[in-house]
Amino acid sequence: MKYTYYPGCSLKATAKEYDLSTRAVMSELGAEFEELEDWTCCGASAVETISYLLALALPARNLALAEQGKGNIQFVASCTACYVNHRKVEERVRETPDLLDTINEALSVEGLAYTGKAKVRHLLDVIANDVGPEAIAGRVKRPLVGLRVAPYYGCQTVRPYSPFDDPDQPESMDRVLAALGTQVYPNPMKAQCCGGTLLTTKREVGIKLVSNLLEAVEGADCIATVCPMCQMNLDAYQGQVSQKLGRPVSIPILYLTQLLGLAFGLPEKQLGLGYNIVPFESLPAKLAA
Partner 1 sequence: MIEEAVDLTSQEFDRGFMSALAPAREKLRACIQCGTCTASCASAYAMDYTPRQLWRMIQLGLKDEVLNSKALWLCSICYSCTLYCPRGIPLTETIGTLKRMAVNEGIRKHKESRNFYRAVMDTVRNHGRMDEVEVMIRYFLSTNPLMAVNYAPLALTMLSKGKVSLGLPKLVGPGKLDKLFDKVEELEGKR
Q: Which residues bind partner 1 (CB under 8 A)?
A: 9-10, 12-16, 40-41, 43-54, 57-58, 61, 102, 105-110, 155-156, 159-160, 167-168, 192-198, 200-205, 208-209, 212, 236-237, 239, 274-275, 277
Shortest Cβ 98–partner 1 spacing (Å)? 12
State the DSSP string of 64-80.
HHHHTT-SSEEEEESSH
167 close to 159: Cβ distance less than 8 angstroms: yes
Q: Which is nearer to partner 1, 85 or 172 (CB)?
A: 85
Q: Which is nearer to partner 1, 79 or 266 (CB)?
A: 79
Shortest Cβ 212–partner 1 spacing (Å)? 7
Shortest Cβ 106–partner 1 spacing (Å)? 5
Q: Which is nearer to partner 1, 237 or 264 (CB)?
A: 237
Q: Any idea what DSSP says for residue 184? A: E
Shortest Cβ 234–partner 1 spacing (Å)? 14
3-state secondary structure at position 3: strand
Angle at 171 between CA 165 and CA 175, to 5 degrees: 120
State the DSSP string of 197-252.
THHHHSHHHHHHHHHHHHHHTBTBSEEEES-HHHHHHHHHTHHHHHHHHTS-----
Q: Which is nearer to partner 1, 140 or 161 (CB)?
A: 161
Shortest Cβ 24–partner 1 spacing (Å)? 18
Q: Which is nearer to partner 1, 41 or 140 (CB)?
A: 41
Q: Residue 44's CB: how many other CB atoms inside 10 A?
A: 18
Distance between CA 209 and CA 153 in Å, rounded?
15
Q: Which is nearer to partner 1, 57 or 179 (CB)?
A: 57
Which residues share a beta bridge with 122?
77
Shortest Cβ 87–partner 1 spacing (Å)? 12
